[in-house]
Amino acid sequence: MDRQKEQADALLSRELQFDDDFTPFPKTKTKARHTYKFILVESIAILSIILNIIAAVDYFAPKNVSFRDVPTDYSGLPHDQPVVYDWESPFGPGNQNSTLQDEVWEAMTIGQGIISLPKDWAKAKGLHPSATFPWDHSRAVYLVAGYHKLHCIKKIRRWIVATERGSQRTDHYEHVLHCLDGIRQAILCEGDDTPLYLSEVGDKISGRDEPRQCRDWSKLDRWAKENTACYGYDNEAADDSGGIKHYKYCPRDSPYAPVMREYFGLPDDYYEEPVEEVPSY
Ligand SMILES: *[C@@H]1O[C@H](CO)[C@@H](O)[C@H](O)[C@H]1NC(C)=O
């Protein structure tokens, strides 16, 4: 019996010992509480890191100016290309090598801007009737306006540069003035409303590195080439743009190449790369 009492006392003391250790929350429950807290804090921290990364990516990413735009009626291109304004492009005075500057300007060829479009399609689009394409009479020849503008600013630049250098001016004065007026009208027509920032200090500069929404010129170029009129200038500076001799530059795989070759009496594999040369200036 004594032994039984001893055992009972021992148990009781153990229980008491346990009671001494008593905390309002049982050990296992405390652990669970800590785990929930930890998960909560950890989740908030991870969420915060993710939000910070998103904010940083957004902050450093090139800004997409918000825009609403509809694709054009003709090539179907929208203004969907963020491009920063390049203050020091190789076409400008930042390019100190004037030979190289001339080269990049003259490398902008214009001939591919003369295209042929189905007459029916052009009529449905409300386009003015245009000259018949010599190699397919169901099509008419058009000059894509963007290429006309490039052609014009090339003329204007050549005039200015040749005047500055005191060298031979290769373009016609009246044509240069016509081009200048054409650009003026194009600027008014476009009504570009991009707000260009101004620097706070020093020489006022505007718009450097500022993003704008542009059409993708390479896609316009592709569209023009898909609708080729096989056209090439011999001398883009001279105002000789008429005559069937300009239409013999069909791409090798062009459906119009056989008709063109037959007209000029050229061999079946004839192909000539259009080269737009201008006299040195
Ligand atoms: C200028 O550019 C031309 C044409 O690319 C090149 O041949 C010439 O070496 C360049 N000159 C200098 C000084 O870099």
Residue 92 parent element (H or E):
none
- Quote the ligand 1 centre to 146 CA distance (angstroms): 29
> What pTM value is reported for the model?
0.74
- Looking at the DSSP bridge assignments, the partners of residue 64 are none
For the segment 16-56, what is each residue's pLDDT rounded down to a tens digit? 343 444 344 444 444 555 666 666 777 777 777 777 766 66
Res 234 pLDDT > 90: no
Q: Which of 113, 175, 192, 191 is nearest to 148 (CA)?
A: 113
Q: What is the pLDDT of residue 26?
A: 42
Q: What is the pLDDT of residue 50?
A: 72
φ, ψ (nearest 5 deg) of residue 205: -125, 150
Q: Which of 219, 223, 245 is nearest to 234 (CA)?
A: 245
User: Rounded distance, CA 40 to CA 44, Å?
Assistant: 6
Report CA torsion sign: 253, 258, 260, 265: positive
Average pLDDT over residues 51-78: 72
- Quote the ligand 1 centre to 234 CA distance (angstroms): 25
- Helix orientation angle between 217-226 and 145-165, rounded to the nearest 10 degrees: 110
- Quote the ligand 1 centre to 97 CA distance (angstroms): 6
Q: Whose CA is nearest to atom 6 of ligand 1?
A: 100
Query: Ligand 1, residues 99, 102, 104: which to mutate, most atoms within 8 A of Cβ?
Result: 99
Ligand 1 close to Cβ of residue 97 (< 6 A): yes
User: Rounded distance, CA 258 to CA 274, Å?
Assistant: 17
Q: What is the pLDDT of residue 32?
A: 54
Answer whether 85's CB lies under 8 Å from 194's CB.
no
b/e 64-75 (16+ beta carbons within 10 angstroms → b): eeeeeeeeeebb
Average pLDDT over residues 138-160: 97
User: Rounded distance, CA 129 to CA 142, Å?
Assistant: 9
List C-alpha distances in Å: 31 to 20, 21, 28, 38, 116: 20, 16, 5, 10, 79
Query: Ligand 1, residues 91, 98, 100, 105: which to mutate, most atoms within 8 A of Cβ?
Result: 100
Q: Whose CA is nearest to atom 4 of ligand 1?
A: 100
Ligand 1 close to Cβ of residue 100 (< 6 A): yes
- Quote the ligand 1 centre to 65 CA distance (angstroms): 38
For the segment 171-207, what is each residue's pLDDT rounded down to a tens digit? 999 999 999 999 999 999 999 888 888 887 777 778 8
Ligand 1 close to Cβ of residue 98 (< 6 A): no
Region label for 272, one of left (φ > 0), alpha (ψ between -120 and 50) or beta (otherwise): beta
3-state class (DSSP) for residue 158: helix
Average pLDDT over residues 125-149: 98
Considering 17-26, 66-75, 94-103, the range whose residues carry the highest mean pLDDT is 94-103
Query: Ligand 1, residues 91, 95, 96, 97: which to mutate, most atoms within 8 A of Cβ?
Result: 97
Q: What is the pLDDT of residue 11?
A: 47
- Name the DSSP letter for residue 118: E
Res 224 pLDDT > 80: yes
Mean pLDDT of the chain: 85
